[in-house]
Amino acid sequence: MAQGKRDGVLIAGGGLAGSLAAIAMAKSRPEVPILLVEEGDTFGGGRTTVFFESDIDEADRWLTEPIATQNWEGYYVAFPGNSRKIKAPCFAIRGADLDRLVRETLRPDQYRLGTKAVAVRDNELVLLGGERIKADAAIDARGAANLSMLELGWHKYFGREYSFSAPHRVDRPVLMDATVDQADGYRFVRCTPFSETRMLVEDCYHSHAPELDGNLSAARLDQYLAMRGWKGGTVEREISGTLPLAVGGDFSSFWRVGGARVARIGLRGGFFQPTTGSTLPDAVRNATVLTEQRDFAGEALHDLFEAEAHALWRRRELQRSFNATLLEARPEDRRAVFENVYRLDAPLIGRFHAGRTGVLDRVRLGKLVR
């Protein structure tokens, strides 16, 4: 990649959203030059992302199919008054598989690893060390940045991937086990089985504060394993993180932060499901929307993704009310907010997860958040 002016699209940030956008462009619009610039040494952020079939339009599934290596027919939820197996196909993408797909799909001259973009302008990247690359457009996909314009709660978690000496007998993800003691907002445990003996178990909270005491969560995971009778678990890896849950805020100002009219996708553009913090559904949609463009000028892409982000923000008002209700409810009532959602029919729950509820859905769900 020569320094200077080139045609096509530059993407800063090869995490979930940037990688999917680059793969989609390379596969569907090979005539448009792209360059994906990632500061780390792998693409995709190295995380495991779980999602539901209903999160993604059928027409867009070609993008996730090669990397959705793990799949289940449905999942469990457990609350004190309602435990349920929900039939809804779900999948997991491993970070390593996304990394592999980027390297297989893009030519070596279409990406750079270990390269930090210190500034992203509408049609230019400035790299650490001073190199400038100009193109028709640049897209900022560098993950979460200044979220101060938004009123947020947090989905925070501490998880351990265990390998057990005997089968754990969990045949599909336990999306929420909220039968556990409540603490720090709404607490639940999530289990994602990767094989008969290997499973990720996460101590999760929907809370006002993003801080998490990893030692306390580790002790709570030990208790949970003992309670479930899972013995001999060797910890293969630990993860922790926080995902934003939108409650309100000034979304227009959020998009104006920094001043420049730069196209943004992923968390950088506020593309997340307000109640789960999940970004994959919007990342897939934005990747395919990008491939449908005729005009790859920076300004045009900025206007496109700003309009998409605002439309989703307006449509997801109900999810924000849901978060407000959850976070403001009396501690003893918080669990009931989610428990009532998971009493609904599976397709409606699917649309709720995807952040794509229709008018009638919103009427039904609205009754739960008043």
Ligand X SMILES: Cc1cc2nc3c(=O)[nH]c(=O)nc-3n(C[C@H](O)[C@H](O)[C@H](O)COP(=O)(O)OP(=O)(O)OC[C@H]3O[C@@H](n4cnc5c(N)ncnc54)[C@H](O)[C@@H]3O)c2cc1C
Consecutive H or E run containing 323: helix 317-328
Among 239, 297, 300, 344, binds ligand X (CB under 6 A): 239
Lookup: tokens for 249: 């805020």
Lookup: tokens for 196: 């008969």
Q: Does 350 bind ligand X (CB under 6 A)?
A: no
* Closer residue to ligand X in complex, CB, 301/336: 301
Q: Does 303 bind ligand X (CB under 6 A)?
A: no
Q: With CB under 6 A as the contact rule, which of the stretches 8-16, 286-294, 320-328, 329-337 interacts with ligand X?
A: 8-16
Among 22, 33, 45, 368, binds ligand X (CB under 6 A): 45
Length of the chain: 370
Q: Is 182 left (phi over 0), alpha (psi -120 to 50) or beta?
A: beta
For ligand X, the nearest residue by Cβ is 15
* Closer residue to ligand X in complex, CB, 64/357: 64
* Closer residue to ligand X in complex, CB, 225/265: 265
Among 207, 275, 278, 321, binds ligand X (CB under 6 A): 278
Among 7, 30, 47, 234, binds ligand X (CB under 6 A): 47
Cα–Cα distance measured from residue 290 to residue 8, given in angstroms and rounded to the nearest whole number: 12
What are the E-state strand segments in 234-287? Answer: 234-249, 263-264
Q: Does 8 bind ligand X (CB under 6 A)?
A: no
* Residues in 141-170 that interact with ligand X by CB under 6 A: 141-143
Cα–Cα distance measured from residue 322 to residue 257, given in angstroms and rounded to the nearest whole number: 26
Q: Does 279 bind ligand X (CB under 6 A)?
A: yes
Among 9, 11, 12, 369, binds ligand X (CB under 6 A): 12
* Residues in 20-39 that interact with ligand X by CB under 6 A: 37-39
Q: With CB under 6 A as the contact rule, which of the stretches 7-15, 295-303, 305-313, 339-347 interacts with ligand X?
A: 7-15
Spatial CA neighbour of 50 closest among 77, 69, 23, 24 = 69
CA distances from 201 to 18, 158, 168, 309 (A): 28, 9, 11, 32
Q: Does 16 bind ligand X (CB under 6 A)?
A: yes
State in angstroms the smallest separation of the CB of 17 from ligand X. Answer: 3
CA dihedral 302→307→313→316, nearest 10 degrees, is -130
Cα–Cα distance measured from residue 72 to residue 52, given in angstroms and rounded to the nearest whole number: 10
CA distances from 195 to 169, 175, 217 (A): 10, 16, 24
State in angstroms the smallest separation of the CB of 68 from ligand X. Answer: 12
Q: Mask of contacts with ligand X, 114-143, x by CB under 6 A?
A: --xx-----------------------xxx
Q: Give how many residues touch ligand X by CB under 6 A.
A: 30
State in angstroms the smallest separation of the CB of 229 from ligand X. Answer: 26
Q: Does 243 bind ligand X (CB under 6 A)?
A: yes
Angle at 104 between CA 23 and CA 59, to 5 degrees: 35
Lookup: tokens for 297: 């000028």
State in angstroms the smallest separation of the CB of 231 from ligand X. Answer: 25
Among 11, 17, 135, 180, binds ligand X (CB under 6 A): 17
Q: Is 266 left (phi over 0), alpha (psi -120 to 50) or beta?
A: left
Lookup: tokens for 208: 């006002």
Lookup: tokens for 162: 């265990």
Q: Does 13 bind ligand X (CB under 6 A)?
A: yes
Cα–Cα distance measured from residue 360 to residue 358, given in angstroms and rounded to the nearest whole number: 6
State in angstroms the smallest separation of the CB of 360 from ligand X. Answer: 26
Interface residue list for ligand X (CB under 6 A): 12-18, 37-40, 45, 47, 49-51, 116-117, 141-143, 239, 241, 243, 266-268, 278-280
